[in-house]
Amino acid sequence: MKIKLTSVYVDDQDKALRFYTEVLGFAKKADFSQGPFRWLTVASPEEPNGTELQLALNNNPAATAYQQAMFQQSQPAAMFFTDDIKGDYERIKSLGAEFTMPPTDVTGSTIAMLNDTCGNLIQLTQLARW
């Protein structure tokens, strides 16, 4: 048993694909459709066969309610790990993304939080080196 996939709900899959590839820098992995259903995933170019992130449409009331509640409580919908949070912060910010928290030292790590424009907060984490 392996963890190969995790999901975030998004309000618009085309917009999400643009943000997660052009701004965050991930690469599209799977994109197929059956009727109204669209299976869309991205992966990290640093780990093309690593865990995929599904950009799932929030088109059911439970998904929308969950997404809004998480956002209002400033809870990230997903967390990505980086070895260079300052560099990623500058790069992503220069591409127009809005950070709700700049890189901030907390116990054992440095974290930052950004708005993915699709209804979510995303946390970037760099673990402190021991």
Partner 1 sequence: MTDREQYTPGAATGAQVRKGGENWTLILARELRHSPEKVWQALTDPAQLHEWAPFDADVSLGTAGSTVKLTTVGAPTPHVTETTVTRADAPKVLEYKWGGNDMRWELEALDGGTRLTLWTSINRRFIAMGAAGWHICLDVLDHLLSGTPLGRTVGPEAMKFLGFQRLHAEYDKQFGVDSPGRPK
Footprint of partner 1 (CB under 8 A): 7, 28, 30-39, 54, 56, 59-60
Closest to partner 1 by CB, 57 or 70: 57
Q: How far is the CB of 55 from partner 1 (least distance, A)?
A: 12
Closest to partner 1 by CB, 33 or 68: 33
Q: How far is the CB of 46 from partner 1 (least distance, A)?
A: 22
Of 118, 119, 120, 99, the closest CA to residue 110 belongs to 99
Q: How far is the CB of 85 from partner 1 (least distance, A)?
A: 31
Closest to partner 1 by CB, 16 or 92: 16
Rounded to an integer, what distance in angstroms lies between the CA atom of residue 109 and that of residue 83?
A: 11
Cβ proximity of 115 and 76 under 8 Å: no
- Which token pair is 53? 């992130």
Q: How far is the CB of 123 from partner 1 (least distance, A)?
A: 23
Cβ proximity of 9 and 66 under 8 Å: yes
The sign of the dihedral angle between the CA atoms of 5, 10, 16, 20 is negative
Closest to partner 1 by CB, 2 or 129: 2
